[in-house]
Structure 1
């Protein structure tokens, strides 16, 4: 084992959907910095192009494409085209999510279906299409973003939490099905991260501060602090890791955090 290179991704091809901003953007940058050729895909095609351009300007290897993760046919076509063009697909990452924060009893049918369509349906499309390619080539690493909400919930997060728990279980099932064919599948669970998804919380100082104090570090996480988890699980350093969830939550799920007793 060459321990000095176990995290390197040289020669590998990665498809990262949701790479135009936030955690996806940071992850794309990190994958490229560690040697992967990264296909930066996003519904925001111009944003994806910007990120890919930044990567190449910095000496990395990247390309971009506009992609709607909720369009099953488009996802399948994109995955197959990338595999044909490069002769392989080693890493597939699904990062997009949306959230409608409101009590379950107030949810409309349209809101319910929209959150499921993006968070669970979109992830399904990528995992299925990329999983088929990887199973055929006998290797690969599939990653999707779950959340601490897959384990702990607060008012207004019921539907979002259900999709994140579903993402975790879908990956676990996929790990059991594709492991014998050399493909790994894992979830990453962020805590509260400063991204466009959490922008509404920043507008409420009390809400923002409460989330910061839930972390043992007393602050929110940054998108780049998720990138290491992506590189690790994508790399050969994680060659015996599948069907699991890696928490990057600042201790959110480990510590009660409501009261410090007088010890």
Structure 2
């Protein structure tokens, strides 16, 4: 049976790095990105360099329900869903609070919903979260958790604003809560997929040297101090995050599901320990 892999946000950065790792593990690889030019170029690059997979670009905004239905249909038509690296997302400097939640949490929930019927024995998904909610030990009280755990509700954003108050309008605050929502979603999704023989985990990158990461660092001077204080004393590389994703998607991780893998170079360890380099 032909196996299918999906990498979202695959036009550049960590999504593209994940796609490079997936190319040698599946028969058909769908590269998903909303930017047609970059994802087409990425598909050509991976197709030219080999790796065994037939690589196809798939232009899609991850918040588009109809587009996600098309992605699911294309996946089902190509074969058996084997691996998904969901790296598509936006960060605090890129949008307002509503858009951040719509892309980073609601979009992730919609993708999980669209692909769930295709999950089977051996299917594995990895969703990108962030170290942001882990730095401050963010936890939702029961009222907030009830809203965060229902991201597909039509009134989700209004309910969330009511639960968290005006502070959620800050894009950095919204980003941390959205990624905390992804952590929670993955734990719930693991219990849905387990009986099917499928798995799902999340990864939480720290400060990573990508175009998006550099944009954030330029607007948030504290990120440089955080990097210097971390255990490794440097930003991460997209390939280092992709290596963690590749492991979680592999058969070697067959007993790992419903967890988050923190890939931050020891930044959270430094903050939590009140120390650093």
TM-score interval, smaller chain: 0.7 to 0.9
The 3 A distance-change label for structure 1 pair 94 and 204 is closer
Shift of 1:166: 0.3
1:6 counterpart residue number: none
Match of 1:57 among 45, 48, 52: 48
Shift of 1:199: 2.6
The 3 A distance-change label for structure 1 pair 222 and 17 is same
Mapped pair 1:116 → 2:101: yes
Match of 1:221 among 236, 251, 267: 236
Mapped pair 1:237 → 2:252: yes
SS of the residue corresponding to residue 246 of structure 1 reads strand
SS of the residue corresponding to residue 265 of structure 2 reads coil
Q: Over the residues paired in the alignment, what is the CA RMSD in angstroms?
A: 2.5
Written as runs of structure 1 = structure 2, the 5 A alignment for 1:122-161 is: 122-134=107-119, 137-153=120-136, 157-161=172-176
CA contact (8 A) 2:62 2:103 kept: yes
Query: Which stretch shifts more, 31-40 or 228-237?
Result: 31-40
Query: Which stretch shifts more, 88-97 or 230-239?
Result: 88-97
Q: Which runs of 5+ in 1 are unaligned?
A: 1-9, 103-109
Mapped to 2, the partners of 1:87 and 1:101 lie a distance apart of: 38
* Deviation digits for residues 82-134 of structure 1 (CA, Å, limit 9, x no counterpart): 221x22111122112212359xxxxxxx9221111100111111111112211
The 3 A distance-change label for structure 1 pair 244 and 47 is same
Tell me the TM-score normalized by structure 2. Answer: 0.80
The 3 A distance-change label for structure 1 pair 36 and 30 is farther
1:183 counterpart residue number: 198
Shift of 1:227: 1.0
Q: Which runs of 5+ in 2 are unaligned?
A: 139-169
The 3 A distance-change label for structure 1 pair 205 and 114 is closer
Match of 1:246 among 248, 251, 261: 261
Match of 2:23 among 32, 36, 42: 32
Shift of 1:150: 2.6
The 3 A distance-change label for structure 1 pair 36 and 165 is farther
Shift of 1:259: 3.9
2:145 counterpart residue number: none
Mapped to 2, the partners of 1:130 and 1:156 lie a distance apart of: 29
Query: Which stretch shifts more, 165-174 or 205-214?
Result: 205-214
Mapped to 1, the partners of 2:259 and 2:235 lie a distance apart of: 24
More helix, by proportion: 2
2:88 counterpart residue number: 96
SS of the residue corresponding to residue 151 of structure 1 reads helix
Q: How many residues align?
A: 242
CA contact (8 A) 2:3 2:82 kept: yes
CA contact (8 A) 1:131 1:142 kept: no
SS of the residue corresponding to residue 132 of structure 1 reads helix
Mapped to 2, the partners of 1:159 and 1:206 lie a distance apart of: 19
